[in-house]
């Protein structure tokens, strides 16, 4: 599967199903923190970390969004058994996903995708 976007396609796609991603939404959790992200039609949740320095928070936000705010469920799931995670560096200038880092000490924005396994 070809994750991200092709050079001829200006729209980012879900790495699980390749459907176009919607605009980032500012989603307020039940604890009041704001998550930048969204949901794909295939069931995947995605979050955006613009600094690339808050990946741990992005994982928590992604799982919380995937589980519709149910933290007990989110914390009880086992990675790769109950859900899959795909993490991509984001090149805003080219509007595409990449997998390589920008260099030592320099972090790029990150999109984190989380999807339940069937």
| Entry pTM | 0.83
In Å, the largest CA–CA distance within the chain is 42
Beta carbons of 65 and 34 less than 8 angstroms apart: no
Which residues lie below 8 Å from residue 84, measured CB to CB, with a gap of 6+?
A: 16, 114, 115, 117
pLDDT tens digits, one per residue of 64-84: 999 998 989 999 999 999 999
Distance CA 32, CA 100 (A): 33
Beta carbons of 60 and 69 less than 8 angstroms apart: no
Distance CA 31, CA 27 (A): 11
What pLDDT band is residue 95 in, cutting at 50, 70 and 90?
Answer: confident
């Amino acid at each position: 599967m070809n994750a991200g976007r092709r050079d001829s396609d200006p729209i980012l796609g879900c790495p699980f199903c390749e459907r176009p991603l919607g605009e980032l939404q500012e989603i307020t959790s039940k604890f009041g923190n704001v998550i930048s992200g969204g949901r794909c039609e295939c069931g995947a949740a995605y979050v955006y970390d613009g600094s690339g320095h808050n990946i741990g928070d992005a994982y928590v936000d992604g799982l919380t969004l995937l589980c519709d705010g149910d933290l007990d469920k989110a914390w009880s799931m086992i990675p790769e058994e109950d859900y899959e995670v795909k993490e991509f560096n984001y090149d805003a200038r080219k509007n595409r996903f990449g997998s390589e880092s920008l260099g030592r000490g320099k972090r790029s924005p990150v999109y984190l995708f989380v999807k339940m396994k069937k």
